[in-house]
Amino acid sequence: MSVRLFPLLATFALAGCSAPEEVAERSGTKGASAAASASASTTGRAVTVKEDTALYSYEFSYPAPVGAFPGLRARVEGGAAKAKLEMIAEAKEARADAKANDYPFNPHGYGEVWQVVADLPGYLSLSNAFHTYTGGAHGMYGMQGLVWDKANARGFAPAELFQSPGYLGGTMGDTVCEALNKEREQRRGEPVDASDEFFGGCPELDDATILVGSSNGKTFDRISVWYGPYVAGSYAEGAYELDFPLTSAMLGAVKPAYRAAFSARK
């Protein structure tokens, strides 16, 4: 598990979210049934679980390639199961407190949606859009990535493929900042104010989730940089996901042990 959850690699506080459905919609994990019921379905080795009760809502899914690797499946399912148990315990405590103090209880929520970013002969690259809601005015959502080494049955964060996020950022020069500012200007409807101490600068890659992808199905030849709300802009602007082809300069940031799994596109 870009993985920033279990442990979290990236979580972002949301302002003004009054229900888990809103958090799920913004994070891309919306889809839980509105009925007070629970259901689980599997297609091949893909798994989808949805639960919606008076106490909590829960959503968890992963595609068939995840289920093809027992170690990966156990890691993903185990992490989600732990998060669910923690959510239920917190929800029960909050419900008891609401009853004791005579105020409304809002059901808690948690969701994970795993997707394949790239499926290479030796590696499986995944993304996980997750969200959590604890009943108040604020929720959280974020993105994590995971690279599964098929031969060695080992999972790790995509950033570990590189010397360091800072090293990778150095090889990219102003590319990330230029792409980010272009998106910011489109969303804000005005040029970026460099004097804005909060959202005028360009965050380092240490503050981002890095995902590795492929256009040829054989090697990693592109990366995505994902900045959550409040990292590169206000909550209203949402998350920023920027895609870049892997260049020869960026290859220099790849650790020697993984160099054979990468190729430059230009």
Domain-wise residue ranges, the chain: 12-156, 160-261
CB 41 within 8 A of CB 31: no
Mean of the pLDDT values across residues 191-199? Answer: 93
> Is the pLDDT assigned to residue 127 strictly greater than 70?
yes
Mean pLDDT taken over the chain: 86
| Cβ atoms within 10 Å, residue 174 | 9
> Is the pLDDT assigned to residue 40 strictly greater than 60?
no
| Alpha carbon distance 71, 182 (integer Å) | 41
| Alpha carbon distance 57, 108 (integer Å) | 6
Q: Please say whether the structural domain 12-156 has been given the CATH code 3.30.565.40.
A: yes
Element counts in the chain: helices (H) and strands (E): 6, 11
Q: CA separation (Å) from 28 to 53, 126, 245, 246, 257?
A: 21, 15, 24, 26, 34
Would you say the pTM of this structure is higher than 0.75?
yes
| Alpha carbon distance 71, 152 (integer Å) | 10
Report pLDDT digits (tens) over 200-256. 999 999 999 999 999 999 999 999 999 998 999 988 898 999 999 999 999 999 999
| Alpha carbon distance 150, 123 (integer Å) | 6
Amino acid at 193: D
